[in-house]
Amino acid sequence: MSERASFRVIRDEIARRISGRLWLPGALIPNEELLAREFGAARATVNRALQELARAGLIERRRRAGTRVALHPVREARFVIPVVRQEIEAKGAAYQYRLLSRIEKAAPELVRARLGLAEETPCLHVRCLHLADRTPYQFEERWINLEAVPKAREADFNATSPNEWLVENAPFTEAEFTFCAAAAGPEEAALLQLNEAAPVFVGERITWLGERPITLVRMMHPPSHRMVTRL
């Protein structure tokens, strides 16, 4: 029963040879034609296997120069940008949302500096809480640049969370994410039902449309929160 050649089989076998140090970092590996002959597969199949390994950072390929085992596999992982309601519903929990405050005012110096805003730029400050199965899940504190998104003035943040409203109404092209751990302040502790100074997982996101800053949001989660991502 001749097992059909598969790009997966080839891919994994080559990965095995690299991991088993049969093929050392920096070494040139056989070209596609040779590998195809060895595995009894078409070159296209070998090509697909190798392209996957290259995308994963295991090997480096160049036309005419051939394929070599990566010297320092520099790799990237991806994570999804969550919309908090979907995140909660995906876990099978009931989503609830509470608007805590919504005030139009100038942003404090620290926020202006991070967004690159002038002192007089009108901003909307929104605070709200997202719950999963009636337990606090995320405390969201947000500054919206009204010069970039004047429509936010008319948005009904009781009906839709600013998170969802902005996803629908304010596209962005650039974003910067920061994650860190911090101690809960008195307000955050109360809202997330934690003891004061309990560790919280903090995500911060700044988005731009072109050069224009849109919003800065700080999202605080209780320490049970896990951000998981796969390569």
Binding footprint of DNA on the chain (CB under 7 A): 4-8, 31-33, 40-45, 47-48, 50-51, 54, 61-67
Residue 47 site contact among a copy of itself, DNA, none (CB < 5 to 8 Å, cut-off depends on kind)? DNA
Report, in Å, the least distance between residue 64 CB and DNA.
3
d(CA 86, CA 210): 27
Residue 45 site contact among a copy of itself, DNA, none (CB < 5 to 8 Å, cut-off depends on kind)? DNA
Query: Do the beta carbons of residue 164 and residue 97 sit within 8 Å?
Result: no
Q: Please count the other Cβ atoms lying within 10 Å of the Cβ belonging to residue 132.
A: 19
Report, in Å, the least distance between residue 222 CB and DNA.
36
Closer to DNA by CB, 52 or 147: give it. Answer: 52
Identify the residue whose tokens are 């009894």: 40
x-or-dash pattern for a copy of itself, window 122-151, by CB under 8 A?
Answer: -----------------------------x
Tokens of 115: 């967004």
Phi and psi (nearest 5°) for 106?
Answer: -70, 145
Identify the residue whose tokens are 């929990």: 93
Closer to DNA by CB, 31 or 135: give it. Answer: 31
Residue 76 site contact among DNA, a copy of itself, none (CB < 5 to 8 Å, cut-off depends on kind)? a copy of itself
HSE-CB of 42 using CA atoms within 13 angstroms: 3
Query: Do the beta carbons of residue 128 and residue 162 sit within 8 Å?
Result: yes
d(CA 88, CA 96): 9
* Residue of 143, 214, 203, 205 lying closest to 172 (CA atoms): 214
x-or-dash pattern for a copy of itself, window 22-61, by CB under 8 A?
Answer: ---x---------------------------x--xxx---
Identify the residue whose tokens are 């790799």: 75
Is residue 221 close enough to count as binding a copy of itself by CB under 8 A? Answer: yes
Q: List the one residue from 86, 96, 121, 160 that touches a copy of itself (CB under 8 A).
A: 86
Closer to DNA by CB, 64 or 78: give it. Answer: 64
Report, in Å, the least distance between residue 229 CB and DNA.
22
Closer to DNA by CB, 28 or 183: give it. Answer: 28
Q: Would you call 131 helix, strand, or coil by DSSP?
A: strand
Query: Do the beta carbons of residue 136 and residue 129 sit within 8 Å?
Result: yes
Which residues contribute to the site for a copy of itself (CB under 8 A)? 12, 15-16, 18-19, 21, 25, 53, 56-58, 72-81, 83, 86, 151, 167-183, 197-202, 209-210, 221, 223, 225-231
